[in-house]
Structure 1
Amino acid sequence: MGQEVNMQEEIQWIREVLSGNKQAYTHIINKYKNQLYATILRMTKNPQDAQDLAQEAFIKVYHQLGKYDGKGLFSSWIYRVTINHCMDEFRKKRYKQVEMTEDLLENPNHPEVIFLKKEKNRQLERLIATLPEDERMIILLRYVNELTYEEISELVGAPVSTVRNKLHRAKKKMRNTVKREGGYFDEMSNCR
């Protein structure tokens, strides 16, 4: 009963926002800000980044509110939009963390080395972009954010076994793409 009342209340707020009452959006922010911030903080492990991403996510949710179809729980929808926004940001800003170490490169500032690193990042980005959304998210959470299987399981709301299977599937797809097309990322096969 309580959940049904909550949903009706949320749907009312959404209707008000969509009909031009921007103030009604503060109800949505107040209801979800702590949960979303806590989730993002666990992904970023940095309070300032988490705060920035939470603000950006609420702006994104506001602009996409019309896309919520009312079929599933609003809380699941807002959570999904937020996680997707964070994943997009991690993909844009933090690929350098995924880079494999280049022990043989003695001069990291040489223009050719810089070019190769950029090209490597572009290839990795294209490779990850070929994955389905759920597998892409798990790859990024595991290797960009360095979260444990248990943390990922909690964030995406799936059992640890499912997280492991999706990660394994995603890496296998990426390896097959590399074998087919060639490139820098044969070492993906060694990722744990």
Structure 2
Amino acid sequence: MKDKNEAETRLKEILNEAVEKHTEGLVIKDLRQKYIPNKRRWLKLKNDYLNGVGDSLDLIIAAKSQDGYLLCSRTPSSYQTVCTIGLDAIDDRIFSTETPQFKNIPKNIQISSQLIENYTPEFWYNPDNALVIEIQANQLIQNALHTCSQKNGIGIQAVEPILIKIRPDKGVENCSTSSFILNRYNATQLALNEE
């Protein structure tokens, strides 16, 4: 049992080192096993699986497609796209059957032409009355697909979001602002540049 505890402690140390270096995480496998295509004999251990690591954001659900839900941050006058999250992350039953659905993009959502080409919603929600969810992202990157804090056609995207929880206790006025996300992105870039 002592060996197992020592191994777990050492694995945590190695993962913390990887997180501090801003890598995606670790791939763990038995050295005696050979690689066989299409058969996973290894485990991914990523920084977004750790509590307190990665970027936690409160975002609103703006649209639903066959590929997932579109999530947005807010500005004083509009909502800006940040990422999409898979359909399996959110149970459809949480939406009221009375929640209005729209075929066209509500005027208060800023969406890039690149995202429109790649994302075809079944319907849109009015973000002023939308559901707030808390997600954790692996990292924040610049991407032309999203409009969060967009400058010169490049916005900020939350990469590989996972659902932490539904936030019925928060209204849209409490969701993450685009300026907050920009500040988080800039802080990460500053930390990377200092290394």
* TM-score interval, smaller chain: under 0.3
- Structure number with the bigger relative contact order (C-alpha 8 A, sep ≥ 6) is 2
Q: Going by fraction, where is strand more abundant, 1 or 2?
A: 2
The normalised TM-score by structure 1 is 0.27
Q: Going by fraction, where is helix more abundant, 1 or 2?
A: 1
